[in-house]
């Protein structure tokens, strides 16, 4: 098996983090991987806020994952976060998305987040992509302008346990077909 497929297969959402800090240089590698992600018309309609400052992290931990969002309370122990904000698409990507009834920004951001997760995995850093967080309070902390949306937050940290969690996968035959829908 290729090294790449090994890497992909060994990535898991990590929900228990050890206390070790992540080096700034490694966080930079992760966002560098994101910057190279493909995007509709190469719009790169994204911004990445990397949160590694202790005080800011504390604010995120307290505000983003409590109350209704307590399901993700594990993320409070993360060593760093990356918040991903959607920006304006290039016109053809925006217009094409309208015609196709799809928002290419979200697709692009999903791909970019996976680049981050895989680069992090390669560095031994665990990630969990989070769609469930208190966006209103996070926007306040980072002074994200009112019209903008924080699409996803990635919690990052060294896994507390070395063992990979089991992963349930649908059968190949259920999700893959060649030359026609099945
Ligand atoms: C867009 C998106 C949003 C997600 N939101 C959450 C979340 O809010 N909380 C959480 O614990 N996991 C979240 N996850 C992680 C998924 O639960 C996880 O990817 C899935 O169960 C498969 O497990 P694996 O990542 O270990 O392969 C999210 C994943 C994606 C791609």
Sign of the alpha-carbon dihedral angle for 133, 118, 113, 21: positive
Backbone angles phi, psi at 159, to 5 degrees: -60, 140
Ligand 1: residue whose CA is nearest its atom 15: 129
Q: Indicate yes or no: pTM above 0.95.
A: yes
Ligand 1 atom at minimum distance from 15 CA? 11
- List, in sequence order, every beta strand (DSSP E) within 23-158: 46-51, 80-86, 126-130, 149-157
Share of the chain above pLDDT 70, in %: 99
pLDDT of res. 2: 81
Ligand 1: residue whose CA is nearest its atom 21: 13
pLDDT of res. 47: 98
Buried b (16+ CB within 10 A) or exposed e, 136-159: ebbbebbebeeeeebbbbbbbbbb
Extract the residue ranges of the chain whose pLDDT is less than 50. none
Could you give the CA distance from residue 92 to residue 111 in angstroms, rounded to a whole number? 19
Mutate to test the pocket of ligand 1, among 9, 10, 13, 153 (most ligand atoms within 8 A of CB): 13
Could you give the CA distance from residue 16 to residue 163 in angstroms, rounded to a whole number? 11
Domain range summary for the chain, segments of one domain joined by +: 22-160
Give me ligand 1 centre to Cα 103, in Å: 20
Ligand 1: residue whose CA is nearest its atom 23: 13
Cα–Cα distance list, 119 to 45, 48, 101, 112, 174 (Å): 20, 15, 31, 11, 29
In a 10 Å sphere around its CB, with 0-12 CB exposed, 13-18 middle and 19+ buried, how is residue 89 labelled? buried
- 22-160 under CATH 1.25.40.10, yes or no: no
Could you give the CA distance from residue 133 to residue 121 in angstroms, rounded to a whole number? 23
Ligand 1: residue whose CA is nearest its atom 17: 13
Tokens 């099945």, located at residue: 182
Give me ligand 1 centre to Cα 156, in Å: 13
Residue 17 is given by DSSP the state B
Ligand 1: lining residues by beta carbon, under 6 Å: 12-13, 15, 72, 128-132, 152, 167
Assign 70 to helix, strand or coil: helix
Mutate to test the pocket of ligand 1, among 74, 117, 128 (most ligand atoms within 8 A of CB): 128
Could you give the CA distance from residue 32 to residue 55 in angstroms, rounded to a whole number? 24
pLDDT one-digit tens code per residue, 72-93? 999 999 999 999 999 999 999 9
Ligand 1 atom at minimum distance from 133 CA? 8
pLDDT of res. 1: 67
Reference 138, options 128, 127, 151; nearest CA is 151
């Amino acid at each position: 098996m290729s090294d790449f497929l090994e890497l992909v297969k060994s990535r898991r959402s990590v929900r228990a983090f050890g206390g070790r800090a992540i080096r700034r240089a490694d966080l930079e590698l992760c966002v560098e991987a994101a910057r190279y992600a493909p995007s509709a018309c190469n719009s790169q309609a994204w911004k990445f806020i990397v949160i590694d400052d202790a005080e800011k992290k504390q604010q995120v931990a307290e505000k983003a994952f409590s109350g209704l969002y307590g399901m993700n309370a594990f993320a409070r122990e993360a060593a760093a976060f990356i918040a991903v904000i959607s920006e304006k698409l290039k016109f053809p990507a925006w217009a094409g998305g309208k015609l196709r009834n799809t928002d290419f920004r979200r697709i692009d951001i999903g791909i970019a987040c996976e680049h981050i997760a895989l680069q992090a995995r390669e560095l031994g850093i665990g990630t969990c992509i989070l769609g469930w967080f208190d966006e209103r309070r996070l926007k306040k902390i980072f002074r994200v302008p009112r019209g903008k949306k924080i699409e996803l937050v990635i919690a990052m940290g060294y896994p507390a346990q070395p063992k990979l969690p089991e992963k349930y996968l649908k059968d190949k035959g259920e999700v893959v077909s060649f030359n026609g829908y099945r």
